Structures are given as structure tokens and as C-alpha cells.
Amino acid sequence: MKIARIDQFFPRRRTRLVKITTDSGLVGWGETTLEGKPKSTTAAVEELADYLIGKDPLRIEHHWQHIYRSAFYRGGNVLMTALSGIDQALWDIAGKQYGVPTYQLLGGAARDRIRVYAHWGIGSLADEGKARAKERLEMLQKKGGYKAFKSGPGGKWRAHEPPAVIDAFVERAYLMREWVGPDVEIAFDFHGKMTPALAIEICHEIKGMRPMFVEEPVPQENVDALKLVSDHVPFPIATGERLLTRWGFREIFEKQAVAYIQPDTSHVGGITELKKVANIAEIYYMHIMPHCAIGPVAFSASLQVDAVVPNFLIQEQVDSGLGDGLLKEDWQVKDGHIELPKKPGLGFEIDEKEAERDCGVYEEELGGGFYYESDGSVADW
């Protein structure tokens, strides 16, 4: 069996797919979504296709090593996203070749079902904002029985904000706790927008509502700053969606800078690398909560690793990740969990007509260059 062709598609605003077709007729799907750099990742996949076509798709580790190590410059978000999507597609083919879900080839299930959390929050304390938040909460609880949610302060945050801005977020956080009660877990994503001092201040303001974790309180580049926040906050800190490969997480592990890590299967290096990162984290008693805020193929790939990793805690899940019209059958959430995949490969049947249709003109999805402070300086979002 050889790789015959590699195609790419842009069916949804935050969903870019790679399709690997073999000469035996088996097809594998992966996701190469990288917010802000759609043309770059498309070009990277095209370059890698020159190497892959004609090769055995089952030599996954060999191909991973070649793609990562053969060029003088290693890593980077463009290469690693392209490699991640290709790796997912190869594991999809491998599972289909042997007639088993991919996780069976990774060592078999370590659990019976996979816990997920949904995105939900109170965006505004105005009556209209609270009504919308209440409506979504009731829908999520009725439809999926979720017992964990993630929200965030939203908007732009400077090096420090006046008490009114901080107090409004703190009030929303405590109101969320009041609505869901003590049996539900609530986390917050600061999106790397804070300084260490501001992050510590806000974390102490919300500690009474017992957050499950705070994600990316500061940008991920400075591990010492991240550890400073962790050392001064009485609940778990998490990071990792923008870190790539084992080498990108190494300093986080060695300094034990956080309690939880959040590698993204479409950026960290695919299924192959996500499992390796998780295995190293186990040594440091860190649990993984894989990041996934894009499409259903990436989400499906994450589930394969979630199934086998002993130190898995919970999986991020956005609405589009469950299917988004691209899968013939959506993933079903029941009591805040998803049952282990049963179909071969990544566990889904894709609607190829939907997957292969063009979403249209690209629009910026996550880009600091489009957000500015009141003085005209660039802001993080």
C-alpha cells in the first residue's frame, strides 16, 4: 500500500482538512487548522506531499521523524500544524487498515468513556446578557449533562485595569458558581492576556468560587513568569495550546510550572506527539487536558489519545467539534462524557461532499493585529 495523493479542503471557517488517499482505496483524514496562517499551512502540506507520495502510509513514526528532522529548521507552528494533520490522517488509515479504532493501536483503552467540558460563560451582567447565558446553560445541561465548563474574562486587558473592570469579571465568575452549584467545575481561560501581577490579583479575587483551573494566565513564552503565577495561586494553572512538541514542553515539565498541560493535537505534532508529551507529563504528576477549539477531525483525533493516556483529565470540546455537518454522525455527549469510538481509524464517517466544499473567503480568526488599545497600541485578544 502506497500514498497516492494528498488533497486539502477548507469547508468551514475554522476547519482546514487534509485527505490522504492510498492506492488501495483507503482514505485518511486530518485537520491542519492554524488560525491566522491558512496559506502558510496549505503550502507546507503541499511541500510535504512531495516526500510522502509513493511512501508506505503505515510507517508513521518514520515519516514523523523525517518531516521533523530532515530540514535544517525544525518545528514552528506552520510545520507542526501541517505535520499534525498528516499524522492524524496516517493514523486514520492505520486503524482502517487493521479494522480497529486508532486507540487500539496505541495500547488500548485505559478508560471506558471520555470526559469533556463545554464553553459557557456570562458575557454581560445586563439582563439580556444574563438571559442568553442562562439559556445556553440550560441547553448544555439538557443536551449533554455537562459537569464542567470553561469561560474567560473576554475582550482586551492591559497591564492593569481599574477596579470596575476586574470587579465585573469577578461578579460574573461568582454568579456562574451560584447558578451551577458546587458539583460542577468551572475553569477560566485568560488567553495569555495578563501580566503576572494582574493574573495573580484576579486569581485571588476568584479563589472563593474554587476554579477548576485558570488557563494561560500569561503568555507561554516565559516559563518563569508562568511559574511565578502558579506559585502564588491556590488552585491549578494550565497551559500548552501554543506549545509544540516534547521540546516545547520540556521547561514546563522541569520547572513544574503548571498543574495541567493542554497540548493541541493539530499543533503539537499530531497523535504521535500528543501521546509522547502526555507520557512525559505523567512522570511529573501532571494531567493533560488536550486543547481543541477547531473542527471535528481534530477533536476525533484527540479522543484517540484521551482513551489511552492514564493521566488524562478532561477534553476541551466546542460545538463545532462534535460534527459541524462534516460527519455523518455527530459525537454524542451524555452525562458530560463521550463513549469510546467504535469505528475504525479516527472513529467517524465523513460526509465527503461537505468536507470537500469551499467555505469561501478567509477571514481573520485570532489575530492581535486587529485589536488596539485606546491609545492606538496593539492589544492581545
Whole-number pLDDT of residue 220: 87
Question: Which one of the listed residues 191, 267, 287, 337 is annotated catalytic?
Answer: 191
Domain boundaries, the chain: 104-342
* pLDDT attached to residue 26: 98
pLDDT at residue number 154: 86
Active site residue 291: yes
Cα 301 to Cα 19, 96, 142, 236, 290, distances in angstroms: 14, 14, 26, 26, 10
d(CA 153, CA 335): 27
Q: In CATH, what number does 104-342 get?
A: 3.20.20.120
User: What does the pLDDT look like over 136-158, one tens digit per residue?
Assistant: 999 999 999 999 999 999 888 88
Q: Which is catalytic among the residues 63, 267, 287, 291?
A: 291
Nearest C-alpha neighbor of 29 from the set 94, 104, 82, 85? 85
CB 149 within 8 A of CB 118: yes
**Whether the Cβ atoms of residue 140 and residue 118 lie closer than 8 Å to each other:** yes
pTM of the model: 0.95
Q: Please give the pLDDT value at position 363.
A: 66
In whole angstroms, give the CA distance from residue 191 to residue 225: 15
For residue 196, the SS3 value is helix
Q: Which residues of the chain have pLDDT under 70?
A: 362-370
pLDDT, tens digit, for every residue of 37-49?
Answer: 888 999 999 999 9
Pull the grid cell for residue 127: 439582563
Our answer to whether residue 204 is catalytic in this structure is: no
| DSSP letters spanning 148-188 | EEEE---S---SS--HHHHHHHHHHHHHHHHHH-TTSEEEE
**Residue 13, pLDDT score:** 86
- Nearest-angstrom CA–CA distance, 115 and 195: 31
The pLDDT of residue 367 is: 56
Name the burial class of residue 272, with classes exposed (0-12), middle (13-18) and buried (19+) by CB atoms within 10 angstroms of its CB.
buried
